[in-house]
Amino acid sequence: MAQEPTPTFSIPTLQTEFTQKNQAGPQYQVGDRIQLNIRIPLELAQELNTVQLKNSDENNPLDKQGWYLDPSPQIINGNLRFIISPVKSGKLVLPELLILKEENHPLAKTTPVNIDVAELTQNPASKPTLLDTISISLPLKFALLGILLIFMIIGVAAFIYKKYLSHKKNTRPNTEIKIPATPDHVIALRDLNMLYEQYPYSKENLKPIAFGVSQILKNFFSARFKIDARESTTDEMMVLLKQEVLPEQDLKKIRALFQSLDLIKFTVLSHHQHFQKGDYYEFRDLTKELIEAWSLKGDQQ
């Protein structure tokens, strides 16, 4: 009987990129901390809370290839960021790494990265030269004047310090008046009212209103739940809010509102003719409802 083939599966390859270019020159040096970035697709990011990186070739360890891999990668706004350090010089290649959800559970792999690493060298000609020592002898009277001057300085310093302690003892400490910070929901509602005062109803004002309402809500969510929603897309923001264990009903309201706002923001004006005055102010009312609801829940926590 013919043996059945062993089932195989392929894992996606994700592009590895530098988070920033080397500002010191065309090469890195031994011991530099180099941060690399990998964009994680949304379908994978939803599965990842913690992640591990592992050399795909266990027979060729990373340190023998000239690399130290920081064991603590981070996932920030759908980006996997990790740090490597070269431990030897030359034209090095960081091999592909496996991205593991947990040990022995690969989800994806990285692309190899080529990096030129310069040796840490010191030019012998640049070593400082020591000057010959010069002996200086002073007459006795100058030595005595120097000693007297030192005692005078010590006496003046002691007198000033004693006066300072006496003044501090007789002075009441000033009572610092702390001005309470403006609550997050107050700022959001204030900005929302100012936005609608600046852009009264018209078809031409739909886009400024959509962009403004979207940013006000993202700022509020960032401050209230301590998440980075300001620079996130709608899908990325929903992943972050879902991790905050918001009720499913509220998540549906937020997603529906942002879908309507994104439709206006990223399509041409002719597609928005069906929006009427009631829809225009419904954005404001729904936004107020979300802000006021979560301001109350946040104060109870």
Residue 175 has pLDDT above 80, yes or no: no
191 vs 52: which has the higher pLDDT: 191
pLDDT tens digits, 71-123: 668 887 778 888 888 888 888 898 988 888 766 778 888 999 888 888 765 55
Nearby residues of 279 by Cβ (< 8 Å), 6 or more positions away: none
Tokens for 57? 């070739």
> With contact defined as beta carbons under 8 Å apart, do 106 and 8 qualify?
no
Non-local (6+) Cβ contacts of 233 within 8 A are none
Percent of the chain with pLDDT over 90: 13
> What does the pLDDT read at residue 288?
92
Measured in degrees and rounded to the nearest 5, phi and psi for residue 237 equal -65, -40
Q: What is the pLDDT of residue 190?
A: 92
Q: Name the pLDDT band for 286 (thresholds 50, 70, 90).
A: very high
Do you know the residue count of the chain?
301
What does the pLDDT average to over 214-243?
89
- Express each pLDDT in 248-276 by its tens digit: 888 999 999 998 888 888 888 777 777 78
For tokens 């990011």, the residue is: 45
pLDDT at 180: 62
**pLDDT tier, 154 (very low <50, low <70, confident <90, very high otherwise):** very high
Give the pLDDT confidence of 130-145 residue by residue, as tens digits: 566 665 565 777 778 8
The pLDDT of residue 254: 92
d(CA 97, CA 58): 11
High-pLDDT (> 70) share of the chain, %: 78
pLDDT, position 105? 77
pLDDT surpassing 50 at residue 233: yes
pLDDT tens track for 11-61: 788 888 887 655 555 568 887 888 888 888 877 766 666 778 888 888 888
Please determine, for residue 300, whether its predicted confidence score (pLDDT) is greater than 50.
no
| C-beta atoms surrounding 250 within 10 Å | 15
* Averaged pLDDT score across all residues of the chain: 79
Answer yes or no: is pLDDT of 247 > 90: no
Residue that wins the pLDDT comparison between 7 and 187: 187
31: left (phi over 0), alpha (psi -120 to 50) or beta: left
Cβ atoms of 88 and 117 within 8 Å: the answer is: yes
The C-alpha torsion from 274 through 278 and 284 to 289, rounded to 10°, is: -120
Residue 284: both structure tokens together? 């404001």
Q: How far is CA 290 from the centre of its chain?
A: 26
Q: Which of 62-66, 76-80, 288-292 has the lowest mean pLDDT?
A: 76-80
> Residue 25 has what pLDDT?
55
Residue 257, both tokens: 């509102």
Residue 191 above 90 pLDDT?
Answer: yes
